[in-house]
């Protein structure tokens, strides 16, 4: 099996680059330490996991389609193929008989499944299973008419309280097809469709919600499927009961929000995001990416001593039904990286108990900090929260991380009867009664992960470039696409995919459909300052309030300059003004982190590398609070 191009597997035998030399992992010592052997000299080295790099055979980025450009039917076919090969993936004792039996169950030759396994194990991305331009020989596909008949029969005959047998469903499909003059599908095809239905959903329809709850609801102290680290990760957000101050004048700016992710198996906090921005797509994306990516760099940057050895792609993401968790971008991104999504059932709060208890733990600890507002007015009494406020957002983040890695992870958890870090270590390395899962693989194509989680817009390319929210963008890479006709409807202009970070809209990312790569596109007028989407909307609102019927780019940035002047010259800033200033500072600190360009362009069209934020959100744009 070839080394995955998007994941660095941390297991004995894996080739890695350490100190610019080729090594091979010989032993995994701990959650963040390994032994290496130099491929040429056989010299043994002791290394931190964070210092390892993946072996890359080609420096050019791998091209693959944008997730939202894939047709729904092709995406569903890729998901179907993944479900077929899923039991065979990472099966240590996988034999040809296993593959043959799995193929027969779904009407495919073993060679077809081997091809799908090879393609998926090469990069662990769902897009590797998309149908090729040329259809595979021997593939059998049902017509839309047969698909519609099967769907109707399943709903009307199988998913009912009458609980008809699978054979009855097969017979009914056959009868309706013959009546319509259509060749009926094989009974096994219908049975396989029934097998793909979620067990809880089937039981709910056939036996009722109560029976499904008894069979699938988690018992006290456990959660279904959370049998190893990162098997199930829960995510949720809440306001924090504390008033923070700005970094400059140390004056109150208000209460922040926190979005947090927890590994249900070990109760380890795997990621979080704190901001003054309203909870939504941005915070959900920040938190999820923070959970997936390693944390060594953040700990070193902020001088926090301790270990936070949590990284890797979760198998299942468990969330509530909030709008920010329901976007199409989240669904496609999770499909792409092999993450199952499970939404918490309405009016059944025990399904989110682990993350809610963790948020409650943090709330209690924060009540000991200066500036706390406590849980309610009665508890606060005469305490002057604003007058006692002392921590900035950056300082609160450092306090939170210190508490997570040096206190919460290290002390005994009442539900586990051991510290979360010890439970996590057991899940990774195993015990005498339970095998370990091994260290999770680390994402190597970090830039593309960020882009896959970034908001998007669709626009045509005009001779002056691209306009989004009255702001013009341009680079020579767009030149060949100016006024390009739509390939399907030539009388219309073609729309292209552009992604942008709401915290800094000075740069957008253009997806080139011919080469399946992204390129950074700056402001057409590079003298404009970087601003966030919230500042842009507020500037537009103020410009319209000044009586302008149409707000163009010049008027928008003029209004923004007036906003900055008012904030800077105010003798006594209001809390909202101070919060706006602090949010701008926080956003600029995030987006100024330099990263290498996502794609190397040809010489005559190479744009200057643009800064990319550390962690990026989903497709919905957050409204002003």
Judged on CB neighbours under 10 Å (0-12, 13-18, 19+), 415 is middle
Torsional class of 225: left (φ above 0), alpha (ψ -120 to 50), beta (otherwise): left
CA–CA distance, 136 with 467 (Å, rounded to integer)? 41
Provide the pLDDT for residue 248: 65
Give the CA count within 13 Å in the CB-facing half-sphere of 111. 4
Confidence of residue 57 (pLDDT cuts 50, 70, 90): low
Q: What is the dihedral of CA 109, 113, 119, 122, to 10 degrees?
A: -140
Q: Which residues of 70-87 are buried (b: 16+ CB within 10 A; e: fewer)?
A: beeeebebbeebbebbee
Q: Please say if the pLDDT value at position 119 is more than 70.
A: yes
Using DSSP bridges, classify how beta strands 233-239 and 316-319 pair: parallel, antiparallel or unpaired. Answer: parallel
Using DSSP bridges, classify how beta strands 44-48 and 53-54 pair: parallel, antiparallel or unpaired. Answer: unpaired
CA–CA distance, 200 with 191 (Å, rounded to integer)? 17
Q: Please say if the pLDDT value at position 543 is more than 70.
A: yes
Provide the pLDDT for residue 254: 83
CA–CA distance, 517 with 531 (Å, rounded to integer)? 26
- Write out pLDDT tens, residues 402-423: 999 999 999 999 888 999 999 9
CA–CA distance, 36 with 13 (Å, rounded to integer)? 9
Provide the pLDDT for residue 220: 43
One DSSP character per residue, 46-60 reads EEEGGG-EE--S-SS
Q: Once rounded to an integer, what is the mean pLDDT over residues 548-572?
A: 74
In Å, how far are 10, 80, 170, 188 from 150, measured between CA atoms? 44, 16, 9, 12
CA–CA distance, 335 with 528 (Å, rounded to integer)? 38
Provide the pLDDT for residue 485: 92
CA–CA distance, 358 with 338 (Å, rounded to integer)? 26
Q: Please say if the pLDDT value at position 139 is more than 50.
A: no
Provide the pLDDT for residue 615: 38
121: its two tokens: 């194990």
Q: At what angle do helices 209-216 and 199-207 cross, to 10 degrees?
A: 150
225: its two tokens: 């499927």
Q: Once rounded to an integer, what is the mean pLDDT over residues 302-328?
A: 82
Confidence of residue 137 (pLDDT cuts 50, 70, 90): very low
Q: Please say if the pLDDT value at position 514 is more than 50.
A: yes
Nearest CA-CA partner of 10 in 615, 429, 448, 595: 429
CA–CA distance, 323 with 490 (Å, rounded to integer)? 36
Q: Once rounded to an integer, what is the mean pLDDT over residues 533-561?
A: 80
Provide the pLDDT for residue 478: 94
Q: Please say if the pLDDT value at position 72 is more than 90.
A: no
CA–CA distance, 66 with 54 (Å, rounded to integer)? 24
pLDDT, greater one: 388 or 325: 388
Provide the pLDDT for residue 56: 67
**Which range has highest mean pLDDT (1-10, 413-422, 558-567, 595-604)?**
413-422
Determine the 3-state secondary structure of 371 from DSSP: coil
Q: Once rounded to an integer, what is the mean pLDDT over residues 546-565?
A: 79
Instruction: Give the DSSP H or E segment for 91.
Output: none
CA–CA distance, 91 with 257 (Å, rounded to integer)? 42
Q: Once rounded to an integer, what is the mean pLDDT over residues 376-384?
A: 73
Q: Once rounded to an integer, what is the mean pLDDT over residues 227-234?
A: 92
CA–CA distance, 251 with 578 (Å, rounded to integer)? 8
In Å, how far are 392, 552, 553 from 299, measured between CA atoms? 18, 43, 40
Per the listing, tokens 């399943």 go with 154
Nearest CA-CA partner of 160 in 198, 209, 205, 203: 205
Lowest mean pLDDT among 310-324, 415-429, 502-516, 584-598: 584-598
Q: Once rounded to an integer, what is the mean pLDDT over residues 44-69?
A: 75
Lowest mean pLDDT among 373-377, 570-574, 618-622: 618-622
Nearest CA-CA partner of 198 in 159, 231, 170, 230: 159
Provide the pLDDT for residue 224: 65
Provide the pLDDT for residue 558: 85
pTM beyond 0.85, yes or no: no
Q: Please say if the pLDDT value at position 487 is more than 80.
A: yes
CA–CA distance, 75 with 404 (Å, rounded to integer)? 39
**Which range has highest mean pLDDT (245-254, 426-435, 612-621)?**
426-435
Q: Please say if the pLDDT value at position 609 is more than 50.
A: no
Confidence of residue 607 (pLDDT cuts 50, 70, 90): low
Question: Would you give the DSSP letter of residue 24?
Answer: E
Dihedral sign, Cα of residue 614, residue 344, residue 424, residue 38: negative
Nearest CA-CA partner of 453 in 328, 623, 579, 556: 328
pLDDT, greater one: 535 or 87: 87
Lowest mean pLDDT among 62-76, 142-156, 488-502: 62-76
Q: What is the dihedral of CA 106, 107, 109, 110, to 10 degrees?
A: 20
Provide the pLDDT for residue 314: 93
Contact yes or no for 341/373 (Cβ under 8 A) = no
CA–CA distance, 127 with 140 (Å, rounded to integer)? 20
Confidence of residue 133 (pLDDT cuts 50, 70, 90): low
- The average confidence (pLDDT) of the chain is 81
Contact yes or no for 325/193 (Cβ under 8 A) = no
Judged on CB neighbours under 10 Å (0-12, 13-18, 19+), 200 is middle
Confidence of residue 334 (pLDDT cuts 50, 70, 90): confident
Lowest mean pLDDT among 39-43, 126-130, 133-137, 389-393: 133-137
Provide the pLDDT for residue 536: 84
- Write out pLDDT tens, residues 170-227: 999 999 999 988 899 999 889 888 887 777 778 888 888 777 766 655 444 456 678 8
Determine the 3-state secondary structure of 90 from DSSP: coil
């Amino acid at each position: 099996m070839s080394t995955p191009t998007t994941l660095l597997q941390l297991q004995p035998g894996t080739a890695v680059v350490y100190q610019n030399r080729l090594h091979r992992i010989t032993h995994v010592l701990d959650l963040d330490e390994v032994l290496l052997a130099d491929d040429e000299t056989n010299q043994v080295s002791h290394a931190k996991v964070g210092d390892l790099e993946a072996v890359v055979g080609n420096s050019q980025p791998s091209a693959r389609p944008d997730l939202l450009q894939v047709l729904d039917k092709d995406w569903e076919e890729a998901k179907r193929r993944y479900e077929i090969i899923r039991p065979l993936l990472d099966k240590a004792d996988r034999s040809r008989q296993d593959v043959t039996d799995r193929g027969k169950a779904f009407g495919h030759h073993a060679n077809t499944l081997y091809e799908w396994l090879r393609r998926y194990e090469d990069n662990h991305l769902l897009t590797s299973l998309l149908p090729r331009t040329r259809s595979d020989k021997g593939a059998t596909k049902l017509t839309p008419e047969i698909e519609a008949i099967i769907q109707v029969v399943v709903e009307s005959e199988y998913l009912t309280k009458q609980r008809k047998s699978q054979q009855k469903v097969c017979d009914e499909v056959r009868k309706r097809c013959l009546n319509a003059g259509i060749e009926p599908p094989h009974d096994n095809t219908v049975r396989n469709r029934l097998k793909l239905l979620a067990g809880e959903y089937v039981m709910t329809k056939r036996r009722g919600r109560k029976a499904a709850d008894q069979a699938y609801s988690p018992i006290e102290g456990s959660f279904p499927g959370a049998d190893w680290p990162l098997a199930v990760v829960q995510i949720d957000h809440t306001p924090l009961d504390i008033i923070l101050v700005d970094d400059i004048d140390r004056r109150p700016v208000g209460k922040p929000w926190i979005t947090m992710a927890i590994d249900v198996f070990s109760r380890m906090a795997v990621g979080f995001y704190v901001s003054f921005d309203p909870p939504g797509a941005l915070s959900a994306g920040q938190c999820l990416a923070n959970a997936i990516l390693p944390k060594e760099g953040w700990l070193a940057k902020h001088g926090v001593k301790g270990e936070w050895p949590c990284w890797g792609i979760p198998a299942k993401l468990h969330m509530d039904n909030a709008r920010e968790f329901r976007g199409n971008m989240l669904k496609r991104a999770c499909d792409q990286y092999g993450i199952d999504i499970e939404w918490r059932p309405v009016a059944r709060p025990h399904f989110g108990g682990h993350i809610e208890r963790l948020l409650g733990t943090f709330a209690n600890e924060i009540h000991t900090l200066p500036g706390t507002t406590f849980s309610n007015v009665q508890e606060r009494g005469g305490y002057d929260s604003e007058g006692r406020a002392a921590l900035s957002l950056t300082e609160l983040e450092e306090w939170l991380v210190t508490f997570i890695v040096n206190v919460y992870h290290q002390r005994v958890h009442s539900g586990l009867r051991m510290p979360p870090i010890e439970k996590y270590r057991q899940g990774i390395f195993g015990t005498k009664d339970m095998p370990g899962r091994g260290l999770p693989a680390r994402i190597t194509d970090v830039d593309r992960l960020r882009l896959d989680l970034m908001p998007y817009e669709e626009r045509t390319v005009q001779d002056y470039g691209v306009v989004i929210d009255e702001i013009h963008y341009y680079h020579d890479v767009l030149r060949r696409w100016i006024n390009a006709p739509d390939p399907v409807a030539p009388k219309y202009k073609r729309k292209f995919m552009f992604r942008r970070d709401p915290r800094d809209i000075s740069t957008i990312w253009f997806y080139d459909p011919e080469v399946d790569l992204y390129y950074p596109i700056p402001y057409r007028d590079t003298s404009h300052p970087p601003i966030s989407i919230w500042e842009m909307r507020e500037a537009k609102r103020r410009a319209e309030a000044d009586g302008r019927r149409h707000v163009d780019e010049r008027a928008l940035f003029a209004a923004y300059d007036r906003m900055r002047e008012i904030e800077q010259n105010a003798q006594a800033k209001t809390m909202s003004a101070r919060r706006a200033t602090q949010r701008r500072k926080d956003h600029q600190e995030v987006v100024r982190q330099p990263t290498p360009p996502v794609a190397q362009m040809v010489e005559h069209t190479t744009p200057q590398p643009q800064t990319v934020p550390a962690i990026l959100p989903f497709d919905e744009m957050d409204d002003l609070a």
